């Protein structure tokens, strides 16, 4: 196995807009994202990715469009560019409380029936599917029904919540996505809901097409409360939402994505997949191994290619008992633990032409204290 870089949030020209002047609405190909699947894959490979997930938006009848047009294009791209593994998925519009503000990367394992299984979920449960969407899709409880259906598929998908605090109105003022909802979703389908994006997409939103900076633009397109160094506040805040979930003993991982719709040099807000943010998984280069590693939390995130390998091991001194990322180590109060951290800082330029160097390593530790006393808790005071 080795560390393989990828991106689970990539849009193609099948992230459409809709012509609502006719009924039923008709799709406008390229309306909300610019490039073909193959071009995205080609550029992802150019920037060092081994895998990616196609996650186009939903809409009034997007399920049919995906099955009949987008999926065949993905199959053709897989054949044309076998050097990069291309998963099939979608950006799921989470039902309830304005699906336009709540999205998740829905990732299918690579199977011959992947398109039919995704169609089954999207056509019935996606928050924007329907002309118009049924009233049940305005209820948060409908998301729990969707998760139960995902959990019952022959091949269970993975779900990672995208840009969870993008619509937060302030620091710790969550909107559309709350810590309680994250808990509810994972408790409903723990084998499906595995985490959230930490390093968000649209990181080139502050760049003009010529590469100069637009001081009026918003990094990551977070309109009310900014990212914290490009990371969503649910991930970045020490002792915050992510640490609160981990302190319950949850297997909850964070990732880094491009959310690529179009490159900034073409007047859009994004980098190419892998040009800035990468999600590394420790796996063999095949679909099943990468999918399993992502689910297991054998993951790390980097931006700007600061590092390209990371090994964290906890061992019981004078014992063969060890655990690495995504694993659990059971110890006694008398055990002495040894922590080993190794990483590789590549001596090469990144996608921006820079060669950043690691200058500092911080270690964060916390306690597993069990279920939070309040379902909407966003703090883990013991984390430091």
Helix (H, G, I), strand (E, B) or coil at 313: strand
Residue 102 included in any domain: yes
Mean pLDDT to the nearest integer, 240-267: 98
- Above 80 in pLDDT, residue 97? no
What's residue 134's pLDDT? 87
- The Cα–Cα gap between 372 and 362 comes to 26
| Residue at 374 is within a domain | no
**Looking at residue 30, what is its pLDDT?**
97
- Tell me which of 256, 280, 308 is where a domain ends: 308
Residues 17 and 124 occupy one common structural domain: yes
Residue 255 lies in a domain: yes
- Do β-strands 253-256 and 299-303 pair in parallel, antiparallel, or remain unpaired? unpaired
Last residue of a domain, one of 308, 335, 354: 308
Assess whether 279 and 302 both reside in one domain: yes
Co-location of 28 and 74 in the same domain:
yes
Within a domain: residue 34? yes
User: In this structure, are 171 and 245 located in the same domain?
Assistant: yes
Helix (H, G, I), strand (E, B) or coil at 242: helix
Peptide bond into 24 cis (omega under 30): yes
- What interhelical angle do 37-46 and 71-80 show, nearest 10? 40
Kindly state whether residue 331 falls inside one of the protein's structural domains. yes
Mean pLDDT of 57-68: 94
Instruction: Indicate whether 100 belongs to any domain.
Output: yes
Q: Are residues 120 and 193 in the same domain?
A: yes
Q: Are residues 148 and 218 in the same domain?
A: yes
Asked if 26 and 19 touch (Cβ cutoff 8 Å), the reply is yes
Q: Which residues are paired to 351 by β-bridges?
A: none
- The total of structural domains in the chain comes to 2
Place of tokens 């509810």: 184
Q: Distance between CA atoms of 64 and 371, rounded to whole angstroms?
A: 41
Query: Domain range spanning residue 334?
Result: 309-345
Whether residues 285 and 313 share a domain: the answer is no
Domain-ending residue, one of 292, 308, 324: 308
Residues forming beta bridges with residue 242, ordered by sequence position: none
Which of 97-106, 118-127, 168-177 is predicted with the least confidence, judged by mean pLDDT?
97-106
pLDDT grade for 133, boundaries at 50, 70 and 90: confident
Please check whether residue 353 lies inside any domain of the structure: no
What's the pLDDT band for 374 if we cut at 50, 70, 90? very high
Predicted pLDDT at 100: 61
Distance, in Å, from the CA atom of 251 to the CA atom of 191, rounded to the nearest integer, reads: 10
Any idea what the CATH number is for the domain that residue 174 is in? 3.20.20.140
Distance CA(14)–CA(263), nearest Å, equals 16
Average pLDDT estimate for 53-79: 96
Is pLDDT at 99 greater than 70 in this prediction? no
What local confidence, expressed as pLDDT, does residue 138 receive?
A: 87
| Average pLDDT across the chain, whole number | 96
- Token pair for residue 106? 């829905």
pLDDT digits (tens, 9 = 90+) for 338-358: 999 999 999 999 999 999 999
User: Strand 2-10 vs strand 51-56: parallel, antiparallel, or unpaired?
Assistant: parallel
105 in the same domain as 45: yes
Please tell me whether residues 289 and 314 are part of one structural domain.
Answer: no
Q: How far apart are CA 262 and CA 33, in angstroms?
A: 6
pLDDT surpassing 90 at residue 369: yes
Q: Is residue 338 part of a domain?
A: yes
Q: Tokens in use for 278?
A: 């990468």
Return the minimum-mean-pLDDT range out of 68-82, 96-110, 264-278.
96-110
**What count of other Cβ atoms lies within 10 Å of the Cβ of residue 341?**
11
What DSSP string describes 15-64? S-EEETTSSS-EEETTSS----HHHHHHHHHHTT-SEEEEEE---TTHHH
Task: Look at residues 249, 234, 232, 251 and name the one whose alpha carbon lies nearest to residue 372.
Answer: 249
Q: How confident is the model over 186-197, as a mean pLDDT?
A: 98
**Do 300 and 163 share a domain, yes or no?**
yes
Same domain, 264 and 143: yes
pLDDT band at residue 131 using 50, 70 and 90 as cut-offs: confident
Which one, of 312, 346, 341, 343, lies nearest residue 329 by Cα?
Answer: 312
DSSP strand pairing (26-28 vs 299-303) = unpaired
Q: Are 304 and 321 contained in the same domain? A: no
């Amino acid at each position: 196995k080795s560390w393989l870089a990828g991106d689970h949030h990539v849009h193609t020209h099948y992230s459409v807009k809709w012509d609502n002047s006719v009924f039923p609405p008709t799709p406008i190909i390229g309306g909300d994202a610019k490039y073909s699947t193959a071009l995205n894959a080609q550029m992802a490979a150019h920037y060092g990715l081994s895998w990616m997930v196609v996650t186009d938006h939903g809409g009034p009848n997007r399920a049919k469009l995906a099955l009949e047009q987008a999926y065949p294009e993905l199959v053709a791209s897989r054949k044309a560019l076998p050097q990069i593994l291309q998963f099939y998925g979608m950006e799921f519009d989470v039902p309830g409380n304005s699906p336009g503000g709540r999205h998740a990367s829905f990732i299918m394992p690579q199977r011959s029936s992947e398109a039919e299984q995704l169609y089954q979920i999207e056509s019935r449960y996606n928050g924007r599917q329907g002309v118009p969407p049924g009233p049940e899709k305005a209820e948060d409880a409908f998301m729990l029904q969707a998760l139960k259906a995902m959990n019952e598929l022959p091949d269970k998908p993975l779900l990672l919540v995208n840009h969870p605090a993008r619509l937060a109105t302030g620091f710790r003022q969550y909107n559309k996505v709350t810590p309680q909802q994250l808990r509810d979703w994972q408790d409903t389908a723990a084998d499906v809901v595995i985490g959230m994006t930490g390093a968000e997409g649209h990181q080139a939103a502050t760049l003009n097409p010529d590469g100069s900076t637009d001081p009026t633009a918003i990094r990551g397109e977070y309109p009310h409360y900014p990212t914290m160094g490009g990371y969503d506040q649910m991930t970045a805040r020490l002792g915050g939402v992510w640490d609160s979930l981990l302190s319950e003993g949850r297997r909850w991982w964070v990732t880094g994505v491009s959310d690529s719709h179009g490159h900034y040099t073409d007047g859009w807000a994004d980098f190419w997949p892998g040009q800035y943010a990468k999600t590394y998984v420790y796996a063999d280069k095949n679909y099943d191994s990468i999918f399993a590693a992502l689910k297991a939390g054998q993951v790390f995130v980097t931006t700007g290619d600061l590092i390209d390998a990371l090994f964290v091991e906890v061992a019981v001194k004078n014992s063969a008992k060890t655990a690495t990322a995504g694993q659990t180590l059971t110890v006694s109060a008398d055990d002495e633990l040894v922590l080993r951290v190794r990483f590789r800082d590549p001596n090469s330029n990144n996608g921006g032409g820079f060669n950043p160097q690691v200058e500092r390593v911080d270690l964060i530790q916390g306690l597993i204290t069990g279920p939070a006393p309040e379902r909407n808790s966003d703090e883990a005071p013991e984390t430091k």
